Amino acid sequence: MKGSIFIVSAPSGAGKTTLCRRLTDIVPRLVHSVSYTTRKPREGEVDGKDYFFVDEDAFMRMVGSGEFLEWAEVHGNLYGTSRTKLFEIIQEGVDVILDIDTQGAAQIRQRGVDATFVFVLPPSLEALSERLRSRKTDSEQVIARRLDRAREEISDYRLYDYVIVNDRLDVALNELGSVVQAKRLHISRIDHGWVKQTFGLKGDVS
């Protein structure tokens, strides 16, 4: 059976990268999709692991060849999800988390891709601002731009299937894990052939 797709969006600084990375570290057969971006790497970020870092020309060539399932400009940089890489993962039966912004999530929704949409909220705008500063990766100018956009992004939360407030990290991690587990246990994901054979059911049980 093909893997499931989870879309996780949140305003920058809400903690979605932390949540997604921790979850993929502890849940088997769940990986984080690696996006392409024209943003410069932050200290400690690794090409091919955190992002595929490319220049604008290379990115726009990929746009031209239809390589992106979705792409968007976020905070002045371009970000996109490779169609090929994503489908390779789910063909293997592995579940995948896409940590993408609300514009990208809207494109995926419009395309009718079967996915579970999760929105992560910070507990408050003050906490969001504090987290952006504590990360020490962005200048004050960049932080101001990200905070400006936060309200706009948050206003899309109703379009998502699940909402998680990332106040205490361990609680939010458990909640995101529960969304993944619920999807895995859904009737649409069950191996009906196994049930039929194991319990000797007759006829069509689907």
Q: Residue 71 pairs with which residues in a beta bridge? A: 80
Q: Are 47 and 41 in contact (CB under 8 A)?
A: yes
Binding mask 92-111 for ligand 5GP (x = CB under 6 A): -------xxx-xx-------
Q: How far is the CB of 197 from ligand 5GP (least distance, A)?
A: 41
Is 169 a residue that touches ligand ADP (CB under 6 A)?
A: yes
Q: Per-residue b/e over 158-177, b at no fewer than 16 CB within 10 Å?
A: eebebebebeeeeebbebbb
Is 12 a residue that touches ligand 5GP (CB under 6 A)?
A: yes
Is 12 a residue that touches ligand ADP (CB under 6 A)?
A: yes
- Subset of residues 56 to 85 that bind ligand 5GP, contact rule: CB under 6 A: 70, 72, 74-75, 79-81
Look up residue 88 and give its two tokens: 């390779």
- Full DSSP string of 14-46: SSHHHHHHHHHHHSTTEEE--EEE-SPPPTT--
Q: Are 128 and 13 in contact (CB under 8 A)?
A: yes
Is 107 a residue that touches ligand ADP (CB under 6 A)?
A: no
Sites of contact with ligand ADP (CB under 6 A): 10, 12-18, 131, 134-135, 166, 168-169, 172
Sites of contact with ligand 5GP (CB under 6 A): 12, 35, 39, 70, 72, 74-75, 79-81, 99-101, 103-104
